[in-house]
Amino acid sequence: MCTDPREHEDTASCSYVMSQKVKDPERLVGEIAFQLDRRILSYVFQGQNRLYGFTVLNIRDKIIQVSTHPLTGKVDEGYRLQLSQRHAELMAKLKQLGYSMTLHPPFTEFIINTYGILKQRADSYSAQELGYNSPDFLRRVVINTAPSKLLKDLLLLFSCLSFMARQDAKPLFLW
């Protein structure tokens, strides 16, 4: 029996076996959506340490908010332009993968609210051991868990997350 993808020559079948044994696959699907949302926000708001209350669904409002001084109301036009350009650039790249700004942000929020997210954040060793940074494993979890009517869009969210992880050379899940 396969317990570790590194111990098995056929990693695709190993990821299939491992994906069948995931403790909380629904939460893992929700975590994929959450990680994409956070990844997009982190890209757009690179200087922002805290992103509480930020979602891709309200990203335009948040660009206005963070580029406006809270006391004086003075707008930092340069910063607003920088954030808006970063957002537009990323959305253009994700659109090539099929991401829609009208469909996928509310869909992402729906998935997170429906499935939840992982209860505990894994350290980098645990994430690797659990397969959380294996695209084959996570894709298999989505395929095995998602209802057929949501599968296409969930796989698209996963493709976008994978694309962003490749672009910034970081793990799929950032903790």
- pLDDT value at residue 126: 53
The full set of domain ranges for the chain reads 5-168
Report the alpha-carbon distance of residue 26 to residue 49 in Å, rounded: 28
pLDDT in tens, 116-167: 999 876 555 454 556 778 999 999 999 999 999 999 999 999 999 999 999 9
Helices (H) and strands (E) in the chain, counts: 8, 0
Q: What is the average per-residue pLDDT within 66-85?
A: 97
In the chain, what percentage of residues exceed pLDDT 70?
81
pLDDT at 9 over 60: no
Tell me what the pLDDT averaged over the chain comes to: 87
pLDDT at 107 over 70: yes
pLDDT at 7 over 60: no
Q: What is the average per-residue pLDDT within 40-49?
A: 94
pLDDT at 42 over 80: yes
Q: What's this model's pTM, rounded to 2 decimal places?
A: 0.84
**What's the maximum distance between 2 C-alpha atoms anywhere in the chain?**
64
pLDDT at 51 over 50: yes
- pLDDT value at residue 6: 45
